[in-house]
């Protein structure tokens, strides 16, 4: 019998405390993944509750369904959350089950352990696999196709912007050189191109993270358009809450967290832009619950090291 892969849900206790679930709760999970948060939330819901789980990754949806079984409260929708808000399937589900809005919306951003640990998906420099990195394996260019369409400059910009990598220019040149010479088919090839600029061994000796980490993150974000419509999606999510309903967002790196923080603050009527502005002029739709965000406890970070960089932000829809 095949085992069901496990993704240890991060900040689970904090999410359960943040999302206050009434009887007949209506929950929207924008990143169902392997259903770890969903399983725990559903365990706290009564029979009349309804849970809509969205994921763009076919394998994640399959595994989540296996994990959660034929729970009649759960519906799984194949979509990127950016495309959800005007999707007739979503609008029909919402009109039928949550016409007054959702009680809770969860977005646990980024990649799942399943994606990272499956070499064939091409997300990880630790295992050799095809250079793919698409979350939705049914559409869009793979990482190698995306790289092939870049110039030295556009690739360096992406690595700098999405990876916050200072050596973005020589790394971009090394990657495109490897591609021109027919040496860029696998994750190992991409990592090797980075190591020609930042050697791996010295970083390892100093206990620093692998030099390929930032470049892999950047290319993954670019291939999946991860940050492009995040702010608009959070705004749409906030608009889909019922008054008093809560939105919980978990991010995994500073770029993501910055967008989450700025968007929630703006929707809470807090002005962060340059110069002076009258905060009263900003429409206020949300109230921030943990203004500084929540990080994993030391115990969680020790038990599940990938959770270390996670941050949870929670906001409540105002009446």
How many residues in the shown chain lie near ligand SAM by CB under 6 A? 20
- b/e map 192-210, b = 16+ CB within 10 Å: bbbbebbebeebeeeeeeb
Residue span 121-150 as binding mask against ligand SAM, x where in contact by CB under 6 A, dash where not: --------------x---------------
> How far apart are the C-alpha atoms of 134 and 64, rounded to whole Å?
19
Identify the residue among 35, 163, 211, 245 touching ligand SAM (CB under 6 A).
Answer: 35
* CB-nearer residue toward ligand SAM: 80 or 234: 80
Q: Does 90 bind ligand SAM (CB under 6 A)?
A: no
Identify the residue among 25, 28, 52, 55 touching ligand SAM (CB under 6 A).
Answer: 55
- Region 157-176 residues binding ligand SAM, contact defined as CB under 6 A: none
Helix (H, G, I), strand (E, B) or coil at 311: strand
* CB-nearer residue toward ligand SAM: 191 or 312: 312
Q: Does 108 bind ligand SAM (CB under 6 A)?
A: yes
Identify the residue among 14, 57, 132, 165 touching ligand SAM (CB under 6 A).
Answer: 57
For every residue of 69-133, which 3-state class applies, written as one string? CCCCCEEEEECCHHHCCCCHHHHHHHHHHCCCCEEEEEEECCCCHHHHHCHHHCCCCCCCCECCC
Q: Does 82 bind ligand SAM (CB under 6 A)?
A: yes
Q: Which residues contact 299 (CB under 8 A, 6 or more apart)?
A: none
Where are the strands (E) in the chain, listed by range? 26-29, 50-55, 74-78, 102-108, 241-251, 286-288, 311-317
Residue 12 Cβ vs ligand SAM, minimum distance, rounded to whole Å: 8
Identify the residue among 51, 81, 146, 216 touching ligand SAM (CB under 6 A).
Answer: 81
Q: Does 14 bind ligand SAM (CB under 6 A)?
A: no
């Amino acid at each position: 019998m095949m085992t069901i892969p496990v993704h240890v849900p991060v900040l689970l206790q904090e999410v359960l405390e943040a999302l206050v679930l009434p009887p007949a709760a209506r929950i929207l999970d924008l990143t169902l993944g392997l259903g770890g948060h969903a399983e725990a939330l559903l365990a706290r819901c009564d029979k009349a509750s309804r849970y809509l789980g969205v994921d763009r990754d076919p394998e994640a949806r399959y595994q989540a369904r296996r994990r959660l079984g034929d729970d009649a409260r759960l519906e799984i929708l194949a979509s990127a959350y950016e495309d959800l808000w005007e999707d007739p399937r979503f609008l029909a589900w919402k009109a039928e089950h949550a016409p007054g809005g959702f009680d809770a919306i969860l977005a646990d951003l980024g990649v799942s352990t399943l994606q990272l640990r499956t070499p064939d998906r091409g997300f990880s420099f630790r295992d050799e696999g095809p250079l793919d990195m698409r979350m939705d394996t049914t559409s869009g260019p793979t990482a190698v196709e995306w790289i092939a369409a870049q110039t030295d400059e556009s690739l360096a910009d992406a690595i700098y912007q999405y990876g916050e990598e200072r050596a973005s220019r020589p790394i971009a040149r090394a990657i495109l050189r490897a591609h021109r010479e027919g040496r860029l088919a696998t994750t190992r090839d991409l990592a090797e191109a980075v190591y020609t600029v930042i050697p791996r061994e010295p970083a390892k000796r100093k206990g620093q993270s692998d030099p390929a980490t930032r470049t892999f993150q950047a290319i993954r974000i670019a291939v999946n358009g991860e940050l492009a419509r995040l702010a608009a999606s959070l705004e749409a999510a906030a608009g889909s809450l019922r008054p008093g309903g809560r939105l919980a967002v978990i991010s995994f790196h500073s770029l993501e967290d910055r967008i989450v923080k700025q968007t929630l603050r703006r929707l809470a009527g807090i002005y962060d832009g340059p110069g002076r502005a009258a905060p009263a002029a900003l429409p206020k739709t949300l109230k921030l619950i943990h203004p500084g965000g929540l990080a994993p406890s030391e115990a969680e970070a020790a038990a599940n090291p990938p959770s270390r960089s996670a941050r949870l932000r929670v906001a409540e829809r105002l009446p």
